[in-house]
Amino acid sequence: MRNINNLLLVSIFTLFFLVTAQSQNKAYPYDIQKKVICENGAVVSAHVLASKAGVAMLKKGGNAIDAAIATQLALAVVHPSAGNLGGGGFLVARLQNGTTTTIDYREMAPGKAHRDMYLDEMGNAKFSESQNGHLSSGVPGTVAGLFQSHQYAKLPFAQLIQPAIDLAANGFIISEREARSLNALKNEFLKYNTIIPAFVNTTNDNQEWKGGDMLIQKDLAATLIRIQHEGAKGFYEGETASLIVAEMKRGNGIISLEDLKNYKAITRLPHIFDYKGHTIVGMPMPSSGGLLVHQMMKMIESKLKATDGFLSPQAVQLMVEVERRAFADRAEFMGDADFYKVPVAALTNEKYLNQRMNDFVFGKAGSSEMVKPGSIPIIESEETTHLSVIDKEGNAVAVTTTLNNSFGSRTVVGGAGFLLNDEMDDFSIKPGSPNMYGALGGEANAIFPGKRMLSSMTPTLVLKNNQPFLIVGTPGGTTIPTSVFQTLVNIIDFNMSTEDAVWQPKFHHQWMPDRIDLEKGFPITTRKALEAMGYKLIDRGSIGRTEVIKVLPNGKFEAIADNRGEDAAVGW
C-alpha cells in the first residue's frame, strides 16, 4: 500500500513537473511594458527584445543613434514581418549639437525597371507582380542607411550588430500572435521561395508554429556576421550580393550586382515647420509624410478649437476634410524630388492652404472627385515598423522602416535568410490605379531606374525651444501621416496624456476612396453626427502602432508603446 502511495505521489509529482515545464516552455517569457518613465534614455519599438537591444547600447555608453541602429538590427531578426535588412526606411534625428538631419534609405528602382513593367499586353496593372515575389522588390536601402547613421554613433558597429547576431543564431521565443502571422503566410512562403525559409516550421508535420516555439535563423545570422566583418560591403558586395542576384535568377527578379553596389543612402535636409510654438521636424521627399503633416496641421491651425474636444463631430469633420485635401495633393504632386519637381513651397504656402479650405462647410460632408468606382480592400496588417529613441545627451531619433506589407515580397534570399521588400508597389504602376493602400498617383511617382518610390512613412520630431519634446511615428501605409497628425493634435491641441493620444481610437480619410475609416471604440454619437453630415463610414481594424517618447517638464522621458500590438517601451 505504502509503495502504491509512493508511486502515486511520484506520478503526481512527475505530471506536475512535466505540465509546469511544458507551460514554462510555452509561455511567452518576455515582460512587455507599455509605459515607462526614466531619466537616462528610452527606446520604444515593436518588439521588447529589440527595445532591450537598444537600451543595452545606451547602458554601454552609446547614444540614441547607437541604440537606434542596434534596435533596427534586432528588429530585422525578431520582427521579420517589418524589421528588415532587405527593405528600406527613413531616419529623422535631432543631434546633441542642436542640429537636425534626416537619412533617406528608401529602396530604389533597379536599373532594369521601367514605367510599364507591371502592365500586361492590354495595359492592365499586374498587382500580383508588384506586390509579391522577386519582381516586386526595390534595391534594399536599410544596411546603407544604418552605416550612414553610424557617423553620429559612439560605439563600434560590430558591437551594435551583436545582439541581432545572437538572436538570429540562438533563436528567440515567438508569441501566439507571431505564430499566427507566420502560419497565415505559410503557403505564400512556400510559393515564393525555391529554398524553404526559416519562417516555415519544418520540424513539424503540419509545418505550423505555436506560441512558445523558438525561431532560429542561421542563414540570417551568417549574413549579419558578414556585415559585422565587412561593413556595408558585407551586404552590397561579395557573398550576400551574389546570393541576392542568384535568388533573383531563380525567380523573375531584376536586381543586379551593379544595382546593389551603386545603392547610396542620402542625407537630406528635414522638412521643418512651426505649429503653435513647436517646431515640427519631418521627412522630406521621397516621403510624403513631412509635407502631408505640414499641410494638415496648417489647414486646421486657425480653425480647430480645443473646446470642440477629442473625437467630437466638429473636430473629426475638420480633420477629415484636411486629410482629404492633403491626400488629393499627394496623388498629383508628390514623388521622388530627385526625379520630379515637387512644388513643396507652393503646397505649403499659407494663402494656398487657406484657399484649399474655402469650400469647407461645417456640418456638411465634402466630396472627392470620383476617379475610379469601386472600393479597395482594407489593409489591416501593420507591417512597417517605427522606433523612437532618446538619450540624456540631447540626441532624439525617429526611424520608420519597412518591407512594405507583411513580410514584404514573401521572398527570402536563399542562403542569406532575409526577406526582400515589395516596395515597387509604392510607385504608381499605372496612373489612376490604386496601390495596395488605395493610394493614387501619376507622373510624379512613375517608375524610373534609380528613382525612389513615394512613401507615407512619417518619422517625426517635435522640438520646443530647440530641445526635444516629442518623438513620434507609426506603421500603417497611407494611415501613417494621419495617425502622426492626430497624435500631434491630441497632445498639442487637446492636451491629452501621451498614452491616451496613442491608445485612443483613430480615423482616416485619404481623398480616394471617399470614406472615413474608423477604428474600434469610435464614439457612437460622433458616428451618427458624421453620417448625418453625409459621410460614408467604414469600420476597420487597428490604425497604426504609434510609438511616442515625450520629454516631461521635469526633464524625464515618458516612453509609450502602442497597445495595438506587442510593442514595448524600455527605459533606463
Judged by the rule CB under 6 A, the positions of this chain that interact with ligand DON are 379, 381-384, 402, 404-405, 423, 426, 455-457, 475-477, 480
Cβ proximity to ligand DON, 152 vs 485, nearer residue: 485
Alpha-carbon distance of 201 to 311, in angstroms, equals 44
Cβ proximity to ligand DON, 87 vs 417, nearer residue: 87
Cβ proximity to ligand DON, 468 vs 477, nearer residue: 477
Which of 71, 223, 279, 384 is catalytic? The answer is 384
Whether 161 and 151 have beta carbons less than 8 Å apart is answered as no
Kindly state the smallest distance separating residue 283's Cβ from ligand DON, in Å. 10
Beta-bridged to residue 45, according to DSSP, are: 568
Which contacts qualify for 204-208: CB closer than 8 Å, 24 or more apart?
A: 208/179, 208/183
Kindly state the smallest distance separating residue 351's Cβ from ligand DON, in Å. 29
Cβ proximity to ligand DON, 366 vs 459, nearer residue: 459
Give, in degrees to the nearest 5, the angle at Cα 475 between 501 and 97.
Answer: 75
Kindly state the smallest distance separating residue 422's Cβ from ligand DON, in Å. 9
Say how many C-beta atoms besides its own lie within 10 A of residue 431's C-beta: 15
Kindly state the smallest distance separating residue 104's Cβ from ligand DON, in Å. 12
560 phi and psi angles, rounded to 5 deg: -120, 125
Cβ proximity to ligand DON, 36 vs 424, nearer residue: 424
DSSP for 326-389, please give it: HHHHHHHH-S-TTTS---HHHHT-HHHHHHHTTT--TTS------SS-S-PPPP----EEEEEE
Whether 139 and 264 have beta carbons less than 8 Å apart is answered as no
Is the bond preceding residue 270 a cis peptide, omega within 30 degrees? Answer: no
Alpha-carbon distance of 532 to 313, in angstroms, equals 10
Cβ proximity to ligand DON, 129 vs 383, nearer residue: 383
Cβ proximity to ligand DON, 41 vs 473, nearer residue: 473
Kindly state the smallest distance separating residue 478's Cβ from ligand DON, in Å. 7
DSSP for 132-200, please give it: SSGGGPPBP-HHHHHHHHGGG--S-HHHHTHHHHHHHHH-EEPPHHHHHHHHHTHHHHHHS-SS--TTS
What are the grid coordinates assigned to 386, written together? 517605427
Beta-bridged to residue 570, according to DSSP, are: 43
Question: What is the helix (H) or strand (E) element at residue 101, kind and residue range?
Answer: strand 100-105
Please, how many CA atoms are within 13 Å of residue 299, restricted to the half-sphere of its CB? 29
Alpha-carbon distance of 480 to 187, in angstroms, equals 29
Kindly state the smallest distance separating residue 380's Cβ from ligand DON, in Å. 8
- Is there a catalytic annotation at residue 498? no
Kindly state the smallest distance separating residue 445's Cβ from ligand DON, in Å. 11
Q: How much is the CA Rg of the chain, to the nearest whole Å?
A: 24
Kindly state the smallest distance separating residue 429's Cβ from ligand DON, in Å. 14
SS3 273: strand
Give, in degrees to the nearest 5, the angle at Cα 315 between 312 and 321.
Answer: 130
Cβ proximity to ligand DON, 219 vs 323, nearer residue: 323
Catalytic annotation, residues: 384
